[in-house]
C-alpha cells in the first residue's frame, strides 16, 4: 500500500484525516491512499487564509511531501513526478513537466529532492521555479520497481504568484507592503472631487469561500483561452500577460467577463453600482448565474473587483483614484468641452473629463519593454476604449507615463492623456459656430490618490505620474509626448485612439523570454532609488482628507526595490537616442522656452524670415503683441493706415502696459474716437474673472446656496449679462437633467467686485439626483465686446452620517453585537428601504434588513449580531439605501484570537 502525506488547504484541524481512494492509472488495481491535511506549509507560503479545500502554493516556494509505504522500499529504479496544467491531454514542456527524484537541487526548474528515509517513508522536498505558470495543477508519481512502472494520482493543487520570492517578477521586498497589497482583504476607495475627497470602504474578500476558484475560472474563460488554450496557459507565467487578460475579463464588452458597465440613472434590471459594498457578492453572482455579466458596474467597481482578482492570484495591487481624469479619444492631448450660449454642457464630442476615475496599479518587473520601467503598472478594466479590438488598458508603466515615453505601447498614450491633457473650453453659438473660451493646462490629473499602508489615510501619488505643473521638466515631457503622438499618428489617420499603439503592442505582447542572469533579486532593488530621486512631494489640497506622503508611509524606496539608472543620464545614451528619435536639436527648435515650435505651429515661414531668433514667434492664437516684439523698426513697414493705432508715443510695449491701459482699451469711448480702429486685446487676458462660493454645508435634502463672485480686471465700467444654469450630472460629467436656469444683468465698476446670489431649492433637484449626489453649476458671462467668460463648479452633496458601535471587544468565534444608527435627512417620508451589512472575516454572507417606511427626519437604530471567523483587523461595511439617497459607512474591528 502507498500512503501519501500531502499538506493541503482545508478548514479541518491538523489532526483530522480524510480517506480518499487513489486509482492505479496503469489500470492494474486500486490502492488506498490516506491524505493528511496540514497548514504548516500553507503558512510558510502565506496561503493559509484561503477558504478552499484545494492545496494552494506559491511558485518558487518549497513544500514537504511524504510517501509512506507498507513495506520497505529498497529496489526502486526511478521515482518520477509529473505536474500538468492547462487543458487536459495538453502536450508541450510548458504545460506538462516531468522531473525525477534526485539528491540535489536544480535551480530554476521543477525539482524533487529526497530529504530523508525514516522507516518505510520517503520525505521529499518539492519546489517549483519562480517563473512557473500559475493556475490549477494535477500531480502524479510514477514508480518503477524491478522493471515495472506504476503511476498514481496524488491529487491537485493551485499555484500562485509569489511576492515573497526574490526571483519572482512580482517580488516586493517590504513585508508591510506585502501585507497591504496582497493580504489585506479590505480597503478604501477615494471618490468625490479634488476639493472634497470622500472615502468608500470596500470588501475585497479575496480569501472568501470559492473566490480563488472563480479567479481561476476568469483565466479559463478569456478569449485567448478559447482560441488557443495551450498558448494561453503557457503565457500565464508572466504577470504582464495575466494582468492584461484580467483587465479585459472584468468587463464584459467583448468576452465572457464579470461586469456590465452602465452610466445612467436607471438600473431597474440590475444593481445600482453605488449599492455594491464589495467584490465577493459580484463574483459569486457571476458564477451562480452561469457566468453571465453582473449588472451593473462603474469605474470604482471595475477597479475594486480587479484588485480582488489580482491580489487573489498573488500580484501586489492597489486602487488608484485620479481626480479630473481626462478621456481623450483622438490623441491630440486636448479634451474639448462644449457649452451653449446659456452655459449648458453639450455632448457633441466623445472627449470628457471625469470628476474622478479609478484604476489599479500592480507591481512587477517589465522584461518586455525594459527593466527601467518596472515597478507600479497601470491596469484599467473600465471599458473606455478598445485596445487591439478589446476593451482593456495596460499594463502601462507609471514611470513611462511620467517620462512621456508614450511610444512603449500597452496604452501608454491613453494613460498619459488621462493625467496630462489640456482642457479646452468652447462656446457653441446657435448657428453652430464655435468660439474658444479658454485653455487650462493644469486642470487634469490632480490629487492622484491611494490608501496608505496600514491605515485609512490618503496618500498623494501625483508626483509618481508627472513632474510639478509648470516646471521645466513637466513642459519638456509634455512636448516630447506630443511629438511622439504627432509623429506616429496624424489627425487624418485617427480612427480610434487605442489603435495608435496596436503595432507596438503586438510587438510588446510576445511571450516574455526568461533571462536567468537578470532576476528580481538583481534588478528590482535599484528601481525605486532612481524613481524616488526623480519625484517631488505634492502639495496637499485644501478641504481634502489629510494626505500622507507615500515616502513617509513606506520604507525608503532605495531600500526596497529598483532598477539600474535610467538611460540618458550619467553619461549614458540620451533619452531621444533610446526611444529612436533624432538627436535633440538646438534650443531654437525644442527648448521649453520656445514651445511655439511644435509640428503644427511653423514659426519660421518665409513670410516671417526677418524675425531674429531672439524674437518670440507669432502664433495664430496669440495675436497681441508681446514684450519681446515691442520695438517696431522702420523696416517693418507693415503698419498700414488701418493699423495706425500704433503711434510713436506708444511704440514700446512694456510688460506693465500690456494690461488694459487707457490708451489700449478697445472698449473705451476715448480710444474708439481717437483712432481709425481699436487695438485688439490679448484674448488670453480676460476683462473679468469669477468663481462660485458655497454658503453653508451641502447636504442632501437641503437647499443649495452659493454666490457668484465677479471681479472687473479693467479700469472701466463693464456691463455684464450672466446666464446661470445648474444640472444634475454623473461623475463622468454627463448631464442627467437641468434643474435651474436664471439670467442676471449688472454693471461692475472699474477694478471692483460684484456678486450674484444663487439658490436651488431641494424640490428642484429631488427627483433627478443620482446616488453620486453631483450637481454642476455654470455661469456664462457675456460682455458687449470681447470673449465670453465661463465659470463652472461641481458640487457633491453630503449624505448624513451613519454610526456603528461595537458592544465589547470582538473575539474570534464569539458572538459580537453591534449597533447601527442613522437619520432620514429629508423632510418627506421614504419607503422601500434596505440595510446591507458585510465584511470579510466577520459575516460569510451579506446581511439584509428591510425598512418599509421611515418618517421625515426620523432616527432609526439596528442591532446586528455576528460571529467573526478570522482574527486581525477587519472592516464592517454598512449601506442604507432608498430611492432618494444612499448612506454608507464602515468601521474597523480588531478581532482578538479566542
> Mapped to the 3 state alphabet, what secondary structure does 315-346 carry?
CCEEEEEEEEEEECCCCCCEEEEEEECCCCEE
Q: Which of 165, 215, 299, 833 is catalytic?
A: 299
Backbone CA torsion sign across 410, 416, 422, 428: positive
Residue with cell 494582468: 243
Q: Which of 804, 792, 800 lies closest to 861 in space, CA to CA?
A: 804
The predicted pLDDT at position 117 comes to 79
Give all strands (DSSP E) within 735-858, no chain letters.
735-748, 753-760, 774-782, 789-796, 803-807, 816-823, 830-839, 843-854
DSSP characters for 78-113?
EEEEEEEESSTT--STTTEEEEEEESS--TTS-EEE
- Cα separation, 419 vs 481, whole angstroms: 12
Asked whether 414 and 358 are in contact (CB, 8 A), the reply is no
Taking 80 as the threshold, does the pLDDT of residue 659 lie above it? no
310 with 355, same domain: the answer is: yes
Is 858 annotated for ligand binding?
no
- Assigned domain for 477 exists: yes
- Assigned domain for 587 exists: no
- Cα separation, 148 vs 271, whole angstroms: 61
Buried b (16+ CB within 10 A) or exposed e, 155-193: bebbbbbbbbbebbbbbbbbeebbebbbbbbbbbbbbbb
User: Residue 504: which pLDDT band, with cuts at 50, 70 and 90?
Assistant: very low
Q: Let me know if 499 is a catalytic residue.
A: no
Taking 70 as the threshold, does the pLDDT of residue 662 lie above it? no
- Assigned domain for 600 exists: no
The predicted pLDDT at position 486 comes to 78
- Cα separation, 425 vs 787, whole angstroms: 12
144 with 261, same domain: the answer is: no
Domain of 738 in residue numbering reads as 688-796
Q: Which residue has the higher pLDDT, 143 or 564?
A: 143
Q: Which residue has the higher pLDDT, 552 or 769?
A: 769
- Cα separation, 337 vs 656, whole angstroms: 33
- Cα separation, 356 vs 199, whole angstroms: 13
What CATH number did the domain enclosing 883 receive? 2.60.40.10
Residues 6+ apart with CB under 8 A from 481: 333, 404, 406, 413, 416, 420
- Assigned domain for 614 exists: no
777 with 812, same domain: the answer is: no
The alpha-carbon radius of gyration of the chain (Å, integer) is 32
User: Residue 89: which pLDDT band, with cuts at 50, 70 and 90?
Assistant: low
- Bridge partners (DSSP) of residue 562 are 527
Give the cell for residue 645.
493705432
Angle between helices 299-313 and 280-288 (to 10 degrees): 80
- Cα separation, 788 vs 437, whole angstroms: 6
User: Residue 265: which pLDDT band, with cuts at 50, 70 and 90?
Assistant: confident
460 with 476, same domain: the answer is: yes
The predicted pLDDT at position 40 comes to 65
Please give the C-alpha separations between residue 640 and each of 561, 619, 635, 643, 861, in angstroms, as whole numbers: 66, 21, 13, 5, 81
Residues 6+ apart with CB under 8 A from 607: none
Please give the C-alpha separations between residue 279 and each of 187, 305, 328, 668, 888, in angstroms, as whole numbers: 11, 5, 29, 64, 16
Q: Return mean pLDDT, the chain.
A: 78
Q: Which of 357, 391, 463, 499 is catalytic?
A: 357
780 with 810, same domain: the answer is: no
Q: pLDDT (tens digit, 9 = 90+) per residue, 182-232?
A: 999 999 999 999 999 999 999 999 999 999 999 999 999 999 999 999 999
Q: Which of 232, 380, 411, 687 is catalytic?
A: 380
373-378 contact pairs (CB < 8 A, 24+): 373/397, 373/399, 373/400, 373/405, 373/408, 374/399, 374/523, 374/524, 374/527, 374/563, 375/399, 375/527, 375/528, 375/531, 375/561, 375/562, 375/563, 376/464, 377/240, 377/243, 378/320, 378/415
- Cα separation, 592 vs 590, whole angstroms: 6
Q: pLDDT (tens digit, 9 = 90+) per residue, 510-566?
A: 333 333 334 444 444 444 333 333 332 333 333 334 444 443 343 333 343 444 444
- Assigned domain for 631 exists: no
Please give the C-alpha separations between residue 511 and each of 183, 221, 232, 368, 408, in angstroms, as whole numbers: 28, 20, 10, 9, 16
- Cα separation, 391 vs 378, whole angstroms: 15
Give the cell for residue 885.
439617497
The predicted pLDDT at position 684 comes to 59
Enter the pTM of the model: 0.78
Highest mean pLDDT among 39-43, 247-251, 554-558, 713-717: 247-251
Domain boundary among 796, 831, 848: 796
Q: Please tell me what DSSP assigns to residue 387.
A: E
Give the helix/strand (H/E) hosting 879.
strand 872-881
DSSP characters for 217-283?
HHHHTSHHHHH-HHHHHHTTT-HHHHHHHHHHHHB-SSSS-SEEE--SS--TTS--GGG--BSHHHH
Query: How many Cβ atoms are within 10 Å of 485's Cβ, its own excluded?
Result: 23
Q: Verify cis geometry, omega within 30 degrees of 0, for the bond prior to 296.
A: yes
Number of alpha carbons in the 13 Å side-chain half-sphere of residue 407: 16
Number of alpha carbons in the 13 Å side-chain half-sphere of residue 348: 15
- Cα separation, 213 vs 232, whole angstroms: 18
411 with 478, same domain: the answer is: yes
Q: Please tell me what DSSP assigns to residue 589.
A: H
Q: Which of 49, 60, 55, 45 lies closest to 157 in space, CA to CA?
A: 55
First-last CA distance in the chain:
41
Residue with cell 451562480: 288
The predicted pLDDT at position 286 comes to 98
Asked whether 339 and 720 are in contact (CB, 8 A), the reply is no
Q: Which residue has the higher pLDDT, 494 or 772?
A: 772
Residue with cell 531672439: 614
* Three-class DSSP labels, 672-705: HHHCCCCCCCCCCCCCEEEEEEECCCCECCCCEE
Domain boundary among 796, 813, 832: 796
300 with 449, same domain: the answer is: yes
When pLDDT is averaged across residues 63-89 and rounded to a whole number, the result is 80
The predicted pLDDT at position 721 comes to 94
Q: Which residue has the higher pLDDT, 584 or 878?
A: 878
Q: pLDDT (tens digit, 9 = 90+) per residue, 378-430?
A: 999 999 998 888 999 999 999 999 999 999 989 999 999 999 999 999 999 98
299 with 377, same domain: the answer is: yes
278 with 365, same domain: the answer is: yes
What CATH number did the domain enclosing 301 receive? 3.90.260.10
Q: Residues for the chain: how many in total?
A: 898
Is 469 annotated for ligand binding?
yes
- Assigned domain for 35 exists: yes
Domain boundary among 796, 822, 838: 796
* Rounded (5°) CA angle 631-636-637: 130
Q: Which residue has the higher pLDDT, 129 or 24?
A: 129
Q: Which residue has the higher pLDDT, 354 or 149?
A: 354
Q: For 20-29, 249-258, 469-478, which range has the lowest pLDDT when averaged over its residues?
A: 20-29
Q: For 347-356, 391-400, 816-825, which range has the lowest pLDDT when averaged over its residues?
A: 347-356
Q: Verify cis geometry, omega within 30 degrees of 0, for the bond prior to 122.
A: no
Taking 80 as the threshold, does the pLDDT of residue 20 lie above it? no
- Assigned domain for 670 exists: no
404 with 285, same domain: the answer is: yes
- Cα separation, 277 vs 618, whole angstroms: 56
Highest mean pLDDT among 137-141, 589-593, 724-728: 724-728
47 with 24, same domain: the answer is: yes
When pLDDT is averaged across residues 359-383 and rounded to a whole number, the result is 98
Q: Which of 321, 324, 322 lies closest to 440 in space, CA to CA?
A: 324
Specify the pairing of strand 334-340 against strand 345-346.
Answer: antiparallel
pLDDT > 90: percent of the chain: 56
Q: Please tell me what DSSP assigns to residue 812.
A: T
User: Residue 834: which pLDDT band, with cuts at 50, 70 and 90?
Assistant: very high
Q: pLDDT (tens digit, 9 = 90+) per residue, 839-858?
A: 999 999 999 999 989 999 99
- Cα separation, 735 vs 346, whole angstroms: 8
- Cα separation, 855 vs 833, whole angstroms: 12
Query: How many Cβ atoms are within 10 Å of 282's Cβ, its own excluded?
Result: 22
Q: Let me know if 357 is a catalytic residue.
A: yes
Specify the pairing of strand 352-364 against strand 375-380.
Answer: antiparallel
DSSP characters for 5-29?
E-----SS-SS-EEEEEEEBTTSS-
When pLDDT is averaged across residues 608-619 and rounded to a whole number, the result is 41
- Assigned domain for 656 exists: no
- Cα separation, 344 vs 767, whole angstroms: 19
When pLDDT is averaged across residues 317-337 and rounded to a whole number, the result is 92
The predicted pLDDT at position 620 comes to 40
The predicted pLDDT at position 41 comes to 66
Query: How many Cβ atoms are within 10 Å of 474's Cβ, its own excluded?
Result: 19
283 with 386, same domain: the answer is: yes
- Bridge partners (DSSP) of residue 531 are none
Domain count, the chain: 4
Amino acid at each position: 500500500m502507498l500512503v501519501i502525506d500531502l499538506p493541503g488547504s482545508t478548514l479541518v484541524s491538523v489532526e483530522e484525516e480524510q480517506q480518499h481512494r487513489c486509482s492505479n492509472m496503469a489500470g492494474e488495481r486500486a490502492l488506498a491512499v490516506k491524505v493528511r491535511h496540514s497548514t504548516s506549509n500553507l503558512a510558510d507560503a502565506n496561503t493559509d487564509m484561503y477558504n478552499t479545500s484545494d492545496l494552494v502554493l506559491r511558485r518558487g516556494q518549497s513544500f514537504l511531501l511524504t510517501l509512506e509505504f507498507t513495506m520497505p522500499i529498497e529496489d526502486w529504479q526511478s521515482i518520477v513526478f509529473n505536474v500538468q496544467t492547462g487543458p487536459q491531454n495538453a502536450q508541450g514542456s510548458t504545460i506538462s513537466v516531468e522531473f525525477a527524484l534526485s539528491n540535489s537541487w536544480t535551480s530554476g526548474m521543477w525539482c524533487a529532492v529526497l530529504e530523508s528515509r525514516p522507516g518505510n517513508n520517503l520525505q521529499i522536498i518539492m519546489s517549483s521555479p519562480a517563473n512557473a505558470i500559475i493556475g490549477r495543477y494535477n500531480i502524479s508519481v510514477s514508480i518503477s520497481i524491478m522493471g515495472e512502472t506504476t503511476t498514481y494520482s496524488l491529487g491537485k493543487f493551485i499555484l500562485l504568484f509569489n511576492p515573497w520570492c526574490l526571483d519572482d517578477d512580482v517580488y516586493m521586498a517590504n513585508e508591510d507592503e506585502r501585507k497591504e497589497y496582497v493580504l489585506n482583504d479590505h480597503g478604501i476607495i477615494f471618490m468625490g472631487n479634488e476639493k472634497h475627497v470622500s472615502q468608500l470602504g470596500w470588501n475585497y474578500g479575496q480569501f472568501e469561500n470559492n473566490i480563488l476558484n472563480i479567479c481561476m475560472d476568469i483565466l479559463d474563460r478569456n478569449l485567448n483561452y478559447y482560441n488557443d488554450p495551450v498558448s494561453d496557459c503557457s503565457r500565464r507565467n508572466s504577470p504582464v500577460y495575466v494582468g492584461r487578460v484580467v483587465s479585459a475579463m472584468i468587463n464584459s464588452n467583448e468576452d465572457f467577463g464579470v461586469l456590465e458597465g452602465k452610466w445612467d440613472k436607471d438600473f431597474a434590471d440590475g444593481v445600482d453600482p453605488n449599492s455594491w459594498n464589495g467584490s465577493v457578492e459580484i463574483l459569486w453572482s457571476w458564477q451562480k448565474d452561469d457566468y453571465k455579466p453582473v449588472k451593473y458596474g462603474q469605474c470604482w467597481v471595475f477597479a475594486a473587483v480587479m484588485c480582488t482578482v489580482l491580489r487573489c492570484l498573488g500580484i501586489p495591487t492597489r486602487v488608484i483614484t485620479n481626480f479630473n481624469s481626462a478621456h481623450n479619444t483622438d490623441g491630440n492631448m486636448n479634451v474639448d468641452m462644449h457649452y451653449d450660449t446659456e452655459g449648458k454642457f453639450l455632448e457633441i464630442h466623445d472627449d470628457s473629463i471625469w470628476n474622478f476615475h479609478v484604476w489599479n496599479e500592480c507591481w512587477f518587473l517589465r522584461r518586455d519593454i525594459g527593466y527601467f520601467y518596472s515597478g507600479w503598472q497601470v491596469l484599467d478594466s473600465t471599458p473606455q476604449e478598445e485596445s487591439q479590438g478589446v476593451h482593456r488598458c495596460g499594463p502601462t508603466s507609471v514611470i513611462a507615463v511620467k517620462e512621456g515615453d508614450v511610444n512603449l505601447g500597452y496604452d501608454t498614450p491613453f494613460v498619459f492623456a488621462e493625467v496630462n491633457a489640456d482642457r479646452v473650453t468652447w462656446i457653441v453659438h446657435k448657428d453652430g459656430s464655435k468660439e474658444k473660451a479658454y485653455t487650462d493646462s493644469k486642470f487634469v490629473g490632480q490629487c492622484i490618490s491611494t490608501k496608505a499602508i496600514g491605515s485609512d489615510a490618503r496618500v498623494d501619488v501625483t508626483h509618481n505620474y508627472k513632474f510639478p505643473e509648470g516646471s521645466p521638466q513637466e513642459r519638456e515631457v509634455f512636448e516630447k509626448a506630443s511629438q511622439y503622438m504627432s509623429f506616429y499618428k496624424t489627425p487624418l489617420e485617427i480612427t480610434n485612439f487605442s489603435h495608435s499603439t496596436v503595432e507596438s503592442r503586438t510587438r510588446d505582447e510576445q511571450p516574455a523570454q526568461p533571462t536567468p542572469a537578470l532576476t528580481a533579486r538583481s534588478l528590482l532593488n535599484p528601481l525605486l532609488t532612481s524613481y524616488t530621486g526623480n519625484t517631488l512631494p505634492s502639495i496637499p489640497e485644501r478641504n481634502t482628507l489629510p494626505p500622507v506622503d507615500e515616502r513617509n508611509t513606506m520604507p525608503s524606496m532605495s531600500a526596497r526595490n529598483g532598477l539600474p539608472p535610467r538611460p540618458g543620464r550619467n553619461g549614458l545614451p540620451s533619452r531621444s537616442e533610446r526611444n529612436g528619435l533624432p538627436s535633440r536639436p538646438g534650443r531654437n527648435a525644442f527648448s521649453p522656452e520656445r514651445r511655439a515650435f511644435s509640428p503644427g505651429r511653423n514659426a519660421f515661414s518665409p513670410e516671417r524670415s526677418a524675425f531674429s531668433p531672439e524674437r518670440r514667434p507669432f502664433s495664430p492664437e496669440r495675436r497681441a503683441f508681446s514684450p519681446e516684439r515691442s520695438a517696431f523698426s522702420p523696416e517693418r513697414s507693415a503698419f498700414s493706415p488701418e493699423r495706425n493705432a500704433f503711434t510713436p508715443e506708444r511704440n514700446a510695449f512694456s510688460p506693465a502696459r500690456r494690461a488694459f491701459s487707457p490708451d489700449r482699451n478697445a472698449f473705451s469711448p476715448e480710444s474708439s474716437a481717437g483712432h481709425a480702429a481699436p487695438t485688439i486685446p490679448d484674448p488670453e487676458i480676460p476683462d473679468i474673472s469669477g468663481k462660485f462660493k458655497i454658503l453653508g454645508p451641502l447636504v442632501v435634502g437641503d437647499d443649495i446656496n452659493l454666490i457668484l463672485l465677479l471681479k472687473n480686471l479693467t479700469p472701466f465700467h463693464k456691463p455684464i449679462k450672466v446666464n446661470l444654469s445648474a444640472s444634475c450630472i454623473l461623475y463622468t460629467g454627463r448631464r442627467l437633467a437641468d434643474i435651474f436656469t436664471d439670467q442676471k444683468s449688472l454693471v461692475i465698476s472699474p477694478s471692483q467686485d460684484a456678486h450674484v446670489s444663487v439658490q436651488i431649492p431641494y424640490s428642484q433637484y429631488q427627483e433627478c439626483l443620482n446616488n453620486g449626489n453631483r450637481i454642476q453649476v455654470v455661469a456664462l458671462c457675456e460682455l458687449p465686446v470681447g470673449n465670453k467668460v465661463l465659470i463652472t463648479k461641481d458640487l457633491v452633496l453630503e449624505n448624513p452620517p451613519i454610526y456603528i458601535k461595537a458592544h465589547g471587544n470582538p473575539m474570534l468565534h464569539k458572538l459580537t453585537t453591534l449597533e447601527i444608527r442613522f437619520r432620514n435627512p429629508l423632510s418627506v417620508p421614504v419607503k422601500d428601504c434596505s440595510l446591507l451589512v458585510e465584511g470579510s472575516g466577520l459575516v460569510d454572507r451579506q446581511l439584509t434588513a428591510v425598512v418599509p417606511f421611515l418618517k421625515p427626519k426620523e432616527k432609526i437604530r439596528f442591532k446586528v449580531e455576528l460571529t467573526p471567523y478570522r482574527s486581525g483587523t477587519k472592516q464592517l461595511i454598512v449601506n442604507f439605501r432608498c430611492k432618494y439617497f444612499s448612506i454608507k459607512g464602515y468601521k474597523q474591528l480588531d478581532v482578538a484570537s479566542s
